[in-house]
Amino acid sequence: MKPALRTVRLLRDDPRAFTPAEKALIGKVHGYMPAQQLLEVLNERLLCDLGPDEVQHTMEQLYAELGASEALPAGGHDWSSLRKLVATAKRAGVLDAVTRQVIDDFAVVFSLSSGQVLRLHDVLLRAKEGEDA
């Protein structure tokens, strides 16, 4: 009977990069699955594929991958791009920090017109209210 081969990790304390398959999985399910649960699935796959000695993926690594995959294309000024941007802000927790005062301060610093300020209030504060509901 042959002994089972075992992979040995040499002097590596950080987790390996995500594979293309893992990146595809992250891209498809991150909007539907909480980040912690997604990380557990990825680490379970890692454990099954490479064994218990492999360094597990970290939440920071997952967040970095999510940030890299969610960049909006340049010139995305339509409603679809705006909805994606607001959804990204919700997932990142940025929308929680947006208040009426933050929008007003932003308007002063960047010399926005009253119409632009009203649109910001309308879009961002409604999106935030929809999150609370």
Q: Does pTM top 0.95 for this prediction?
A: no
Q: Tens digits of per-residue pLDDT, 25-45?
A: 888 888 788 889 999 999 999
How many whole angstroms from its chain centre is CA 83? 15
Whether the pLDDT of residue 12 is over 60: the answer is no
Q: How many angstroms separate the most distant Cα atoms in the chain?
A: 79
How many whole angstroms separate alpha carbon 95 and alpha carbon 25?
25
Percent of the chain with pLDDT over 70: 80
Please identify which residue in the block is written with the tokens 């081969």.
Answer: 5
pLDDT of residue 4: 62
Contact 101, 120 (CB under 8 A): no
Q: Tens digits of per-residue pLDDT, 69-128?
A: 655 454 566 777 778 888 877 877 888 888 999 999 989 998 989 988 998 899 888 888
* Burial per residue of 49-66, b for 16 or more beta-carbon CB atoms within 10 angstroms, e otherwise: eeeeebeebeeebbeebb
